A and B are shown apart, each in its own frame.
Chain A
């Protein structure tokens, strides 16, 4: 069985603060893929990043960065210098090689001006 846990239900920060979203996953597969999606109020899930289980390199894209650590089964996401437009629900997801995709419960991020 596979499971994704996002322990933080809600995070509220003031604009320009950094915010880190935690994601812990469970799987017995050796090949798997990890994703982060953003869901703004409009409802559409927007793809942010994908990582496969063999690539533990951290990645930075603008104000976004991701830290993947297989040793702790974590795939954390940091927004640096947050902006009001970052307010959304963020989902971590785990996908097996058989295409089964499991989402976490999501973390609601509110950035106050």
Chain B
């Protein structure tokens, strides 16, 4: 079974440029998460989707970040314009809603963003 797929793995951009990350979750997983992981820290939730609905986006900086999950499968996270402080690894994860809050999250390898 294929895992969570993310692209690109690495992205280097100059500040004020836009950037987008793509995530394909595990087939059949209703719940999709975007996390941001700063160097030396644990991941922090940006947004959680149940199917195509964003049910928790309280940590998403909405002035420059946006996300969508069309058709409840793939998802895209966009930053426009990027700032120096956005340099981090952006992790996508998915889980099966049927397992509830106790179900484990399956993570992708992440997209490492460097803003110059």
Give residues in A with beta carbon < 8 Å to B: 4, 33, 35, 37, 42-47, 50, 52, 91, 93, 95-106
Contacts and interface: CB of A to CB of B under 8 A. Distances in A.
A103 B101 contact: no
- B interface, how many residues as a size bin? 20 to 34
B42 A42 contact: no
A45 B48 contact: no
Nearest to A9: B40
B42 A93 contact: yes
Contact of B102 (A43, A50, A105, A106): A50
Nearest to B108: A44
Contacts of A47: 104-106
Interface of B: 3, 40-45, 48, 56, 89, 91, 93, 101-110, 112
Contacts of A4: 42
Contacts, number: 54
Which secondary structure dominates where chain A touches chain B? strand
Contact of A50 (B3, B104, B106): B104
Nearest to A35: B104
Given A91-B42, A99-B56, A33 B101 contact: yes
Contacts of B104: 35, 47, 50
B105 A101 contact: yes
A43 B109 contact: yes
